[in-house]
Amino acid sequence: MIRYTLKCDQDHSFESWFQSNDAFDKLKAAGMVACAVCGSTKIDKQLMAPAIRPARDATPRDTPLASPQSDTQSALAALRAHIEATSDYVGLNFATQARAMHDGVLPERAIHGEARLDEARALLEEGIPVTPLPFLPSRKTN
């Protein structure tokens, strides 16, 4: 799907979604694109800036934020520091490790990691206590 900003010959601007650029052209040629304000079918596309998603985390984790942190941000940072200091990061093996500890195959210890929604749901259904964390894990890179 693509969203276009459109303008009619009466200078009314509005937006509309189309399957593709070709779909817009076909509908316009058939007179099926009309102004949402006056009903005119003399429509042209307007210049648009593309919708670009910002990076997941534009500020590096080691760099202090330019503005002071809010109480919530400070609390989350303290929670993250506590969890990372008192538990082992097991990455994508979280569900396997949690299940093995619950079954007595591995010794119990505090862990944190990543699990798909279906894996987390299965752990809960098996009576294995897990909870989502309110932040993304710090990726360990070489």
Mean pLDDT of 17-42: 86
- Per-residue pLDDT of 64-80, as tens digits, reads 554 556 778 888 888 88
Residue 2 has pLDDT above 90, yes or no: no
pLDDT at 58: 56
Share the mean pLDDT of the chain: 82
- Per-residue pLDDT of 91-110, as tens digits, reads 899 999 999 999 999 999 99
Q: Would you kindly state where each structural domain of the chain is located, as residue ranges?
A: 2-45, 71-125
pLDDT at 59: 55
Collapsing DSSP states into helix, strand and coil, what is residue 88?
strand
In the structure encoding, which two tokens stand for residue 141, read together? 């890179």
Share of the chain above pLDDT 90, in %: 26
Distances (CA, A) of 29 to 10, 104, 115: 19, 69, 50
d(CA 62, CA 4): 40
**β-bridge partners, 91:** 113
Residue 29 has pLDDT above 80, yes or no: yes
Residue 85 has pLDDT above 60, yes or no: yes
Q: What is the pTM of this model?
A: 0.48
Identify which has the larger pLDDT, 133 or 65.
133
DSSP for 9-49, written as a single string? TT--EEEEEES-HHHHHHHHHTT----TTT----EEE----
Q: How far from the centroid of its chain's Cα atoms is residue 104's Cα?
A: 36
pLDDT at 69: 63
